[in-house]
Amino acid sequence: MTEKSEISIWFFIGLSLLGNGAVITGAGLYEYFHPPAVKVVLFGAHANIWWGAFLALVGAAYCIYFSPGKRRA
Amino acid sequence: MITALAQTQLVHLSGVDLAIIIFYFALVLAIGFYLRGRANTGEDFFMAGREMTAWVAGLSFLSANLGALELMGWAGSAYQYGILATHWYWIGAIPAMLFLALVMMPFYYISKTHSVPGYLKLRFGESSRALSAVSFAFMTVLMSGVNMFAMAKVMQIVLGWPLSFSIWISSLTVAIYVALGGLRSAIFNEVLQFFLIWAGALLIPILGLYEAGGWAHLKVLITQRASAEYVHLWSGLGSFGTNPMGINWVGIVFGLGAIISMGYWTTDFLVVQRILAAKDMRSAQLAPIIGAAFKMFVPIIVILPGLLGLALLPMKLTGESNALLTGGHSYNDVLPLMLARYCGPGLLGLGVTALIAGFMSGMAGNVSAFTTVWTYDIYRALINKKASDAHYVSMGRWTTVIGVLISVGTAYLVMHSASIMDYVQALFSFFIAPLFGTVILGMLWKRATGPAAFWGLFLGTLSSIGMWVWVKVDPTALQYVALSSHAKPMAQDMFQALWAFVICVVVTVVVSLVTKPKPDAELEGLVYGLTPIPSQKGIALYQRPIFWAGVVTVVFVSLNIIFW
């Protein structure tokens, strides 16, 4: 975030998205193979799988690009 | 704002959801501990070292306002009033944010003030600063408590959590990370919250629009279940009786757009503090523009879920009192209901985390602003003028903890007497409109004097209180305040603010003309015409704030025409 920061705020945000995305995708995959008795509306869209994967990808990109110690232009 | 007590909690969290919530708490505390070494001087602790980039300051500026109660309350308003609620995000925010960036920020930034009351001290003297600082500090910490109680109530209804559990867990976490890292920690967590809110809330409109069959079909469903006026922004505002809110375009344009939002976005130190932390003048100007660009799209995750709830939910939501009587759901429950409708394990946890994060960053915003105003504008100005910088930092850390404890006390007070909440919320609104009048005259009119500013601010505030009491004692008085017998309560805030602003400006102008002005030399860097604004000639067009303000304006106007 700032020149003096060793760890950028964007890295923390990447960490948050990556962690949450991975957990949500995992939960979605579990539900895919073990469908619950009571389903949410549009369960068939399996939103937790693709939305979780999307968050994890964005988070991973942030973590890599803003990883501590990496020099950027 | 408090949702009605439903018979059972709205959602049930799984282990995965709880893991996501715990991960959030761990992360914000980790940020606080990581930043504790970077808050050793007053400039670091209270102003985040004035080294935030435009993006961080801009997103933080927006997030400080994007609390959980704001999200749930305005989603409920969208269910109740339709797309009209969008005015609070568009005309009720965008022009004010751009005005702050282009017109007011140069004076705030060049004067190097640490707060809005601090600017009043430089421009008008100690009396105006004392009046605004004491009122701001007092009301901010009370508002923080009121919001804390309201959020705990929401958590009780949505998740079944005990009130005290929510209050203490969230307040202690905020106290720890703000006391450790100061404003920088608050800002970092606000930016994190911004991303969490979008990540947790964006799925609702995506899935909702898919279920509704697209925007065009959603409008048909809303027209069938409510009326066609619910999907038009401006066409029903010709008079008070032709729209669900009972307000007209004068109230929206002049009351909301020109006064209330200007007052809030340009003089409420809670949000302005984030911009003052920017690393340079261009960043300070770009930050509100970035905030405005994102603010335009917040209705996607707030207003749209309310409209989708109106079209798709099988049950009919009602007002608070009716929901209490029937055991049903109130308007304010629409967002959690939509969350529970589409979100399974994991996604539900993320949605709830977004609400908690919104609440905590709002509270951190209140506490960090309170701490700065108390330490610099009250303690240093009136109690202990000659202490060391380290002493003021220490005072800031203690004030953070004490401010949180006062907020907790207020939350418990409200728990035992709910009417206090209405009074505190009303009190806060009294100061916003006249303060905008005082600050804007101070920046744009060099003839405005110190005594005039004090009396304008004082009488403007007093008039606002007077109108509120008048309508409270005699509800029919609303027709005089709002200039129409068809006006509904929503119109009161708009017209009350409009009159308070007018009275403040008139008093300030009249008193200024009969009192002695400050010499020009004392006003350099504070007033239009006497403040050298850095030239941007050497900067490429696409890097200039005015260019991006123009882009935002074009999008803003287009959106209003599209949804006319």
Residue of B nearest to A3 (CA): B51
B31 CB near a chain A CB, below 8 Å?
Answer: yes
d(CA B275, CA B475): 40
3-state per-residue secondary structure call for B264-276: HHHHCHHHHHHHH
Contact B450, B518 (CB under 8 A): yes
Closest Cα of chain B to A9: distance in Å?
A: 6
pLDDT at B129: 93
Interface contact flag, A41 B211, Cβ < 8 Å? yes
Higher per-residue confidence, B11 vs A5: B11
Cα distances from A49 to residues A34, B19, B278, in angstroms, run 14, 17, 38
Say if residues B156 and B148 touch (Cβ distance below 8 Å): no
Name the strand (E) or helix (H) holding A33.
Answer: helix A9-33
CA-nearest residue to B197 within chain A is A17
Best B24, B43, B185, B195 member to test A by mutation, with max A CBs in 10 Å, is B195
N-term to C-term CA, chain B: 28
Name which of B325, B283, B166 is nearest B548 in CA terms: B283
Which residues from A are below 8 Å from B191, CB to CB? 9, 13
- Identify whether the C-beta of residue B274 lies closer than 8 Å to the C-beta of residue B287: yes
Q: Which two tokens stand for residue A52?
A: 């979780």
Residue among B505, B527, B498, B464 at smallest CA distance from B111: B527
Interface contact B51, partner A, CB < 8 A: yes
Residues B271 and B65: their CA atoms lie apart, in Å, by 7
State the Cα–Cα distance between residues B74 and B88, nearest whole angstrom.
9
For residue B142, the model assigns a pLDDT of 83
List per-residue pLDDT tens for chain B, 564 residues long: 434 444 466 778 899 999 999 999 999 999 999 998 888 899 999 998 899 999 999 999 998 888 777 788 889 989 999 999 999 999 999 999 999 999 999 889 888 898 999 999 999 999 999 999 998 888 888 888 888 887 887 788 778 888 899 889 989 999 999 999 999 999 998 999 899 999 999 999 999 999 999 999 999 999 998 888 899 999 888 888 788 888 888 888 988 888 888 988 999 888 899 999 999 999 999 999 999 999 999 999 999 999 999 999 998 888 877 877 888 888 888 988 998 899 989 999 999 998 888 888 888 888 999 999 999 999 999 999 999 999 999 999 999 999 999 999 988 887 776 666 666 666 666 888 899 999 999 999 999 999 999 999 999 999 999 998 998 899 888 888 888 887 777 778 888 888 999 999 999 999 999 999 999 999 988 998 888 888 778 888 888 999 999 999 999 999 999 999
pLDDT score at B419: 65
Provide the token pair at B519: 């010499």
According to DSSP, residue B526 is labeled T
Q: Which of A41, A46, A49 to mutate to test the interface with B (most CBs of B within 10 A)?
A: A41
Q: Mind telling me how many Å the CA of A2 is from chain B's nearest CA?
A: 7
Minimal CA separation from B263 to chain A, in Å: 30
ipTM of the modeled complex: 0.91
**What domains lie within chain B, and their CATH numbers?**
15-428+538-562 (1.20.1730.10)
DSSP B278-345: BSSHHHHHHHHHHHHHHHTTGGGTTHHHHHHHHHH-SSPPB-HHHHHHHT--BGGGHHHHHHHHH--T
Q: Which pLDDT band holds residue A71 (cuts at 50, 70, 90)?
A: low
> What is the 3-class SS of B71-127, one letter each residue?
HHHHHHHHHHHHHHHHHHCCCCCHHHHHHHHHHHHHHHHHCCCCCHHHHHHHHHCHH
Q: What is the pTM of this model?
A: 0.90
> Do the Cβ atoms of B298 and B66 come closer than 8 Å?
yes
Q: Is B327 exposed, middle or buried (0-12, 13-18, 19+ CB in 10 A)?
A: exposed
Q: CB of B163 within 8 A of CB of B416?
A: no
Residue-wise burial string across B448-487, b where 16 or more C-beta atoms lie within 10 A, e elsewhere? bbbbbbbbbbbbbbebbbbbbeebeeeeeebeebbbbeeb
Residues of A in contact with B14 (CB under 8 A): 27
Task: Look up residue B524 and give its two tokens.
Answer: 């350099």
Interface of B with A in 70-129 (CB under 8 A): none
Give the number of C-alpha atoms closer than 13 A to the C-alpha of residue A3, restricted to the C-beta side.
5
